[in-house]
């Protein structure tokens, strides 16, 4: 009988079996994978040629910030941020060097991509002011587009922090905020506008915003912007800023770039340069991945409650992801019924309620604040917040459990630090897995990821687990059993060799018939596998008539065969035969020739026989 454990939560006694989970999907022992390999280097490449960037060099602290103005250095020093991350080391000099080229910045979550494009963007604006470019009302010089209000507010916060030292003006345009207030802001001189595509188009259509002076457009979370319903609005904005006499350049930023999205980007932006990290589409560095396969008949809600209860007792900050709105609500109700403090985050909530949930989740821990640039820019030192497994400080309120959908998986930098990410519903594709797990172990810190695996999730979960073990990218994996992962597919030379072998075998059998065709395979081949008893093999002479043949003594009874009364001789039809003709057995009509008699019909002779009409 399985042992049980007890968890007391706010006066509620919860008894759950300890053996809720089966063992690893790939191994017969519990599996946890820890990826601790940081990014080694980045490369800058185009479609035609590869331009290497010495991102791995360490010629001195802050050497990659040498191109920036003193005002931006002051902003970074105010945050205590002097050493750039790997993606910043490659992106900042590349963006400043090739100012007329479109770029794609692709790196894993939490690697500092926001500062990687904001710093050179502000640097270009300040250099333009030095050349005499004036800031005008209604005419921003840079646009930053994001898919959600939360992401655009986050980017705007970093831009405002930079503007305290670099002295430029920025404004946010997103849904849910006051439209009149945004209109007043646009009526003043502006340098940078951060917003969602729908609200920017709305202001442009009403004459509050003009694209004539826009020099740079940034698409943050570009894969979402181009592939998940934002395409028409984004293309309208791009058509306006790229159809000018002096087209604006585009900077696409994403943590994942699937093959389909990359093809779309290359078609929209020919000649686009790429800054891509080696850790792209791989597991989060410093994270421990655990895959817990649920045994048949296990209560999934009870399994989740038991797992979250252990983490809550240790004071850890936990995020629980669900695939659907209904599943998110059900999981939140189950945890609340178990006595746990919870907070929800999904698309059916008002923006203000979602913001309140984030504030509750990120503000519970004291002393966990981060600098304005650490969230979006990535704190290279990984400071801020207690370590994974550490308890809350004495007197600090316990953090609530944030139960959310994939709306919280992309682009958001959660205040403080997330210790544990739990996939209550396993993601439907590996890209969503990468975005969910990127909420923890950010900017060099550590974290834990636990996935509850139901029966229908085992194919994709096993492939992700194997890819993590082998350090392979996850973006090409599929939940379809018929689609093999890239590392399991035959190599092109193997496929060519197999095709050549099949062609040679086909030519060897050409021109042969019957048993002679099977002779190359080693003998007479019949449906049963082996030749029938007494049957000669291919190439051997026959010893006599086959059993059941129409030769002497072996034909059917009506043709004088065995038991017909006249062995070896032909027997005339008696009128009861199916073919009424005086022909011999070799002259009988073939089946399907139309010579079979139809019931109730007679031929010209008056006999009730089949017609011999051809």
**What radius of gyration do the chain's Cα atoms show?**
37
**pLDDT level of residue 482 (50, 70, 90 thresholds):** confident
In the predicted structure, residue 377 carries a pLDDT above the cut 80: no
Residues β-bridged to residue 208: none
Whether pLDDT at 550 is above 50: no
208 & 338 share domain: no
Residue position matching structure tokens 């759950």: 16
Whether the per-residue pLDDT at 49 is higher than 90: the answer is no
- The more confidently predicted of residues 78 and 192 is 192
Residues 614 and 594: beta-carbon distance below 8 Å: yes
**HEC profile for 241-274?**
HHCCCCCCEEEEEECCCCHHHHHHHHHHCCCCEE
Q: Find, among 581, 570, 572, 586, the residue nearest to 607 by Cα.
A: 581
Q: From CA 371, how far away is CA 81, in angstroms rounded?
A: 9
**pLDDT value, residue 607:** 45
Is 547 a member of any domain?
Answer: no
581 belongs to a structural domain: no
pLDDT over 60 at 168, yes or no: yes
Sheet with strand 342-345: strands edge to edge: 32-35, 287-293, 447-453, 420-423, 318-321, 401-404, 342-345
Is residue 249 domain-shared with residue 311, that is, in the same domain?
no
511 pLDDT more than 50: yes
Residue 526 lies in a domain: no
Structural domain that includes position 56: 42-277
Over residues 123-130, the mean pLDDT reads 92
Same-domain check for residues 239 and 345: no
State residue 109's pLDDT score.
85
Is the predicted pLDDT of residue 308 greater than 70, yes or no? yes
The tokens describing 142, both together, are 């840079």
State yes or no: pLDDT of 413 exceeds 60.
Answer: yes
Q: State yes or no: pLDDT of 100 exceeds 50.
A: yes
Same domain, 368 and 462: yes
Any idea what the CATH number is for the domain that residue 204 is in? 3.40.50.300
* Domains contained in the chain, number: 3
* pLDDT exceeds 60 at position 48: no
- pLDDT, residue 344, reads 96
- Residue 543 domain-assigned (yes or no): no
Of 449, 466, 488, the residue at which a domain comes to its end is 488
What are the tens digits of pLDDT across the range 341-357? 999 999 999 988 998 99
Q: Are residues 271 and 295 in the same domain?
A: no
Specify whether 468 is located in the same domain as 401: yes
pLDDT at 559 over 50: no
- H or E stretch including 287? strand 287-293
For residue 592, pLDDT beyond 80: no
Domain final residue, candidates 277, 306, 331: 277
Both tokens of residue 93? 């000099």
Q: Are residues 433 and 466 in the same domain?
A: yes
Residue 37 lies in a domain: no
- Of 203 and 363, more confident: 203
Q: What's the mean pLDDT in 132-149?
A: 93
Pairing of β 273-277 and β 42-45: antiparallel
Residue with tokens 């010209």, as numbered in its chain? 604
- Asked if residue 541 has pLDDT above 70, the reply is no
Residue after which a domain boundary falls, among 226, 260, 277: 277
Q: How far apart are CA 117 and CA 91, in angstroms?
A: 7
Q: pLDDT band for 444, please (50, 70, 90 cuts).
A: confident
15 and 52, same domain (yes or no): no
Location of structure tokens 């973006």: 475
Is 453 found in the same domain as 305? Answer: yes
Mark whether 273 and 421 lie in a shared domain: no
pLDDT at 194 over 70: yes
- Is 563 among the domain residues? no
CB 69 within 8 A of CB 130: no
Average pLDDT for the chain: 76
Answer yes or no: is 438 within a domain: yes
372 vs 55: which has the higher pLDDT: 372
Cβ burial 489-522 (10 Å sphere, 16+ → b, else e): eeeeeeeeeeeeeeeeeeeeeeeeeebeebbeee
Q: pLDDT at position 570, please?
A: 54
In a domain, 568, yes or no: no
302 and 401, same domain (yes or no): yes
Q: Are residues 438 and 504 in the same domain?
A: no
């Amino acid at each position: 009988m399985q042992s049980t454990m007890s968890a007391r939560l706010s006066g509620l006694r919860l008894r759950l079996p300890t053996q809720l989970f089966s063992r690893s999907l790939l191994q017969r022992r519990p599996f946890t994978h820890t990826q601790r390999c940081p990014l080694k280097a980045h490369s800058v490449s185009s479609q035609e040629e590869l331009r290497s960037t010495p991102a791995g060099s360490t010629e001195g602290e802050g050497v990659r910030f040498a191109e920036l103005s003193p005002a931006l250095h002051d902003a970074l020093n105010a945050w205590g941020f002097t050493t750039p991350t790997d993606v910043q080391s490659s992106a900042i000099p590349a963006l400043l060097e090739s100012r007329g080229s479109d770029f794609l910045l692709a790196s894993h979550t939490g690697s500092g991509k926001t500062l990687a494009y904001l710093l050179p963007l502000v640097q270009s604006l300040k250099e333009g002011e030095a050349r005499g470019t004036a800031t005008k009302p209604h005419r921003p010089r840079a646009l930053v587009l994001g898919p959600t209000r939360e992401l655009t507010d986050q980017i705007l916060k970093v831009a405002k922090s930079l503007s305290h030292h670099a002295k430029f003006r920025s404004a946010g345009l997103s849904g849910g905020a006051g439209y009149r207030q945004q209109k007043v802001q646009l009526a003043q001189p502006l340098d940078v506008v951060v917003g969602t595509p729908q609200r920017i188009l709305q202001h442009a259509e009403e004459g509050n915003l003009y694209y004539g002076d826009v020099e740079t457009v940034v698409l943050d979370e570009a894969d979402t912007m181009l592939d998940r319903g934002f395409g028409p609005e984004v293309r309208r904005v791009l058509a306006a800023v790229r159809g000018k006499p002096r087209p604006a350049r585009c900077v696409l930023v994403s943590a994942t770039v699937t093959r389909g999205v990359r093809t779309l980007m290359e078609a929209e932006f020919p000649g686009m340069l790429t800054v891509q990290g080696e850790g792209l589409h791989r597991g989060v560095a410093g994270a421990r991945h655990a895959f817990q396969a649920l045994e048949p008949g296990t209560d999934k809600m009870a399994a989740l409650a038991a797992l979250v209860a252990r983490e809550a007792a240790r004071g850890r900050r936990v995020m629980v992801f669900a695939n659907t709105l209904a599943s998110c609500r059900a999981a939140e109700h189950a945890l609340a019924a178990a006595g746990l403090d919870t907070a929800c985050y999904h698309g059916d909530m008002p923006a203000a309620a979602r913001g309140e949930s984030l504030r509750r989740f990120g503000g519970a821990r004291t002393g966990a604040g981060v600098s304005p640039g650490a969230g979006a820019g990535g704190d290279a030192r990984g400071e801020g917040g207690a370590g994974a497994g550490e308890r809350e400080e004495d007197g600090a309120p316990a953090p609530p459990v944030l139960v959310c959908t994939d709306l919280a998986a992309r682009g958001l930098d959660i205040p403080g630090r997330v210790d544990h990410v739990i996939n209550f519903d396993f993601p439907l594709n590996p890209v969503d897995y990468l975005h969910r797990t990127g909420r923890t172990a950010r900017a060099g810190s550590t974290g834990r990821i636990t996935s509850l695996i139901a029966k229908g999730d085992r194919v994709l979960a096993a492939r992700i687990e194997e890819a993590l073990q082998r350090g392979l990218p996850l973006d090409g994996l599929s939940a379809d059993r018929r689609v093999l992962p890239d590392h399991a597919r035959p190599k092109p030379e193997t496929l060519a060799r197999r095709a050549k072998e099949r062609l040679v075998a086909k030519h060897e059998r050409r021109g042969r018939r019957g048993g002679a065709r099977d002779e190359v395979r080693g003998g007479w081949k019949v449906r049963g596998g082996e030749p029938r008893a007494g049957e000669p093999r291919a190439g051997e002479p026959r010893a006599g008539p086959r059993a059941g043949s129409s030769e002497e003594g072996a034909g059917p009874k009506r043709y004088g065969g065995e038991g017909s009364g006249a062995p070896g001789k032909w027997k005339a039809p008696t009128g009861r035969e199916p073919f009424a003709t005086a022909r011999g057995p070799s002259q009988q009509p073939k089946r399907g020739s139309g010579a079979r008699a139809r019931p109730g019909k007679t031929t010209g002779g008056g006999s009730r026989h089949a017609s011999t009409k051809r």
